[in-house]
Amino acid sequence: MKYVFALISLFFLHACTAQHTKGKIKNKKTMTKSIQEGVCGTVTFQSGNRMPMVDVPSSGKSVPVVRSIEIYERCNMSQVEAINGFYEHIPTRKVATVESDKNGKFCISLPAGNYSMFTKETNGLYANSFDGEGNIFPIVVEKGKITTVDFLISYSAVY
């Protein structure tokens, strides 16, 4: 378990050590100097059977993907209508858009605040994480800190 945590930590550290230029990752060595606060992370697409079973290997796949990520002021489930798990109109203000690279990594500078994050999919905007108050994929950016996010796109997966 220690090794898994160490690998995950190194992965996020690597994801947050690139330079942010118009939402795209450019230079891996200078990002921590250029982004003082914001969000860095990965986008992974999951598909297939992800159900853990004894003595049966999972047939599911997880692959990093290029996606447009839209960040809005904090949005609640009570404010939107989802159609088959996708959203079309977010009533709060769009704050930023960033694109993940071929390794699923992204970083974007954002001021301290509360946000909701979505990926842009063919069927609309997608988010599958909520807090206990119904906020959609809630992200908190603290002053002077970088928030790490693992965005799992799981609408093609079965659990």
Instruction: List the chain pLDDT tens, one digit each, 159 residues.
Output: 343 333 333 333 344 433 333 343 343 333 444 789 999 999 999 988 766 666 666 677 889 999 999 999 999 999 999 998 899 999 999 999 999 999 999 999 999 999 999 999 999 999 999 999 999 999 999 999 999 999 999 988 776
Cα→Cα distances 54→46, 146, 150, Å: 21, 39, 27
Q: Which two tokens stand for residue 52?
A: 């853990």
Q: How many domains does the chain have?
A: 1
Beta strand spans in the chain (E): 20-21, 24-25, 38-49, 61-64, 68-73, 82-83, 86-87, 94-99, 105-109, 113-121, 124-126, 138-141, 146-158
The answer to whether 99 and 64 are in contact (CB under 8 A) is no
Record the pTM: 0.75
Domain with 139, as residue range(s), is 2-158
Q: How far apart are CA 9 and CA 144, in angstroms?
A: 19
Phi, psi of 35 (to 5 degrees): -110, 115
Instruction: Name residues whose C-beta falls within 8 Å of residue 54's C-beta, 6 or more positions apart in sequence.
Output: none
Query: Could you report how far apart the first and last alpha carbons of the chain are, in Å?
Result: 23
Q: What is the CATH number of the domain that holds 72?
A: 2.60.40.1120
